[in-house]
């Protein structure tokens, strides 16, 4: 049987990407499940997540690429080029792990039911940016993360999983 490929998109530190890559390695996803992370693509050349991935020989089989969104005249042009790059890896799943771009409807449709996002809030609460600040300002007793399918509605796709953590006195955005 063919190995199923995961392509991960990042824009920065790639902490969620690193967690996925490490879990795939430690839990031997390819041998046990027939699933592998085949590529990590960033829209920013200085994304430290790419440096982390490239610095560890354990992960040398994962291709890293940069496709700078600022080099394109439109969101549609960037998304078209990004789809071509992603499709070179024959992805069964595309994971947005801190990928800080709103994607066009055409992109979302192209990966329908194969496009996941990791969002730092308990959706439907706090879609978009600055979720920690907003939860603290509102005095929420808990916060967390949501994995969901991506649809044309920003952070509005069907939820797959959520993890909750308590907000305790003295918590800050950093903690």
Q: 3-state DSSP call for residue 116?
A: strand
Positive or negative torsion for Cα 154, 132, 145, 32: positive
Reference 2, options 33, 42, 39, 27; nearest CA is 33
Catalytic annotation, pick one of 119, 130, 143, 148: 119
Distance CA 95, CA 55 (A): 22
Positive or negative torsion for Cα 151, 15, 4, 39: positive
143 is catalytic: no
The H-or-E segment that residue 19 falls in is helix 15-26
Catalytic residue numbers read: 119
């Amino acid at each position: 049987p063919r190995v199923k490929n995961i392509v991960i998109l990042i824009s920065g530190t790639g902490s969620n990407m690193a967690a996925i890559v490490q879990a795939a390695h430690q839990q031997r996803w390819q041998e046990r499940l027939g699933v592998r992370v085949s590529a990590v693509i960033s829209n920013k050349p200085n994304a430290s997540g790419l440096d982390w991935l490239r610095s560890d020989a354990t992960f040398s089989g994962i291709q890293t690429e940069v496709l700078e969104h600022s080099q394109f005249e439109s969101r549609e042009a960037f998304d078209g080029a990004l789809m071509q790059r992603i499709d070179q890896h024959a992805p069964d799943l595309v994971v947005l792990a801190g990928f800080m771009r709103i994607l066009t409807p055409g992109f979302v449709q192209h990966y329908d039911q194969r496009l996941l996002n990791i969002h730092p809030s308990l959706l439907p609460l706090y879609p978009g940016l600055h979720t920690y600040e907003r939860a603290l300002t509102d005095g929420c007793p808990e916060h967390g993360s949501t994995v969901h399918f991506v649809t044309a509605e920003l952070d509005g796709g069907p939820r797959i999983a959520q993890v909750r953590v308590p907000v305790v006195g003295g918590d800050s955005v950093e903690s």
